[in-house]
Structure 1
Amino acid sequence: MYKLLIADDEARIRKGLRNSINWTELNIEIVGEAEDGEIALKLVKELKPHIIMLDICMPFLNGLELIKKLKNVNEKCIIIIVTGYDQFEYMHEALKLKVFDYILKPVNRENLKDTILKAVQELSKIERKRNYLNWTSRQVDENLNSLRQVFFNNWFKDKLEYKDIIDELKFLKIKFSDHIGMISIKVVEKFKFELYFKNWDRELLNFAIINIACDLLEKFKPEAVFIDENNNIIIFTNICSGSRWYNLGIELEEKVYSYLGYIVVTEQEKVLSGINEVKDIYNKLVDKINEKTQCKPVVLLTMKYINKNYHVNDLNLQSVADQFNVSSSYLSKLIKQEIGISFSDYITNIRIKKAICFMEDPKMKIYEVAESVGYSNQHYFCKAFKKVIGVSPTEYRGGSI
């Protein structure tokens, strides 16, 4: 039943309103009466009525003042003014406050019933709308992943304008902070018959990989996941620690292989320039992933080994070749052929990339950064850094580029 509160300083008016019609027949219960505005305000807070009938002229807190306060307490309640002809001058201000309706004193029973019926119809309409919104909200929640898939697919295929993207992000409850990173993951199909522990359905496999990734990324609060038509898994996540975040790819590759028996490759990038940069980064990540998956198995395994062991000071071509039982000359030739740069240049690039992550921590000294990425000599590290980046580590950290 709908709850009704009557507020009037005259007891006979309150009694007349209470006894004038059969309220139960209208699905209404009178839950309280108030003889002044302050009591009325207190009862509204306690009882949360759906309908309030109030007189404009009441002691302590008049009707107009009460209406203003009610907007902050229960703005959705229906307010009906009960007023005499001599108070009608106040009605203009009351209407500006968006009261539902008014009834003139002395109260006519039929007018009262008609007004209350209109109020009940309005409440019923509000309830239907609320139920519909709740239903649509549940539908969105239940189908959120599917809706997000469609959204990202349209976004990355240039089917959405900027305003549409912003609206969709809000609708799909995706919050992109100023520190967002993107991680791409893809299964290396060429290892299918060699290393799979068992055959998985592709949808189930993607689901399992995403679960492992989200568990690993828990502290970074993953915001959204997208699987494109080529089974590239893209995860959007917050970044609270650059160096820790950039090591997640290696951890993720190891965990997926350990739990599922599948070899995956990963790529990561930060989003530095906001929403407009996301699509370009997606394309960049997919290109890098595709390049990796096209490499011969021994080259791919070499890259993964270097990515994991870049911090080892004496990491060299021969030691890596020994890991995979191939000659150093053969491995050197394959790496140059497959990824376009030499073994030593690849190691240097990986180390400098990792060094940049460590340098985000202002507490780390340059020599500590050098040691963390496999250089025992700071001078040699600075020389390698300048060769790759174009400026020294000190200049880079000082914001000169």
Structure 2
Amino acid sequence: MYRVMIIDDEESARKLMRAAIDYKSLDMEVVGEAASGIEAINIIDDLKPDIAFVDISMPFMNGIEFTETATERYPNLIIIIMTALDQFEYARKCVSLPVFDYMLKPMVRAEVTKVLERAKEKLDNMLPSASDFDEEFSGDDADFAVGEADSTELIKKYVHDNITDPKLNLAFVAQNFGFSASYLSRKFKQDTGKNFAKYLTDLRMKKAIKYAGLGYKMYQTAAEVGIPDPNYFGRCFKKYVGMSYSDYVLEKCQKSS
């Protein structure tokens, strides 16, 4: 079953895209959604979509910027750009990007279904081994097997040094070190006992707690830890700490006074 991701900053649009299409009949399922390109970059390694609907107009990282980043790391990912009429020509000018199709909002169910049928045909014709998300051990990965502990420490240092980069994720690091994302994922968990995405989020949240303790405003802290989308940052912080950022800062101030 092919995996679909919906990336749009409008919750109503995401809900409509989930409810209006009979994905099951197309041998597809919606595996997740994101409210910004930043959030999508942070969760795409875990979701492993085959198809992504991407709104062109989003804060902090728009659809074009997301597409540039995503297609560089996941060349087999099928991107379907969603755009309003007044942005359509702007979207079409980005012809250098490997976009599967452009669709006008509001979306029409029959048109979306036709595009997905074509996407399914393309995916059906792809060799299973071509999947960028499920890439197996390759010759390039063999270098990582030599001195594994040292390599893992280098990777952890690289993550620490680049923590402020919002494009940092598993595929970003794997690409930088020259081996597959799937291999890095397996080896990182084997060597550290942690999932890479969780390790990265935990590291960011630990730093965020330090900035919060210093009284930084949320948008300042969010930028300092590489999650400039304050809404997504706020959800990550609350999940990690158990309270909102503002409540945490207030509690710290009360304890210190």
Larger radius of gyration: 1
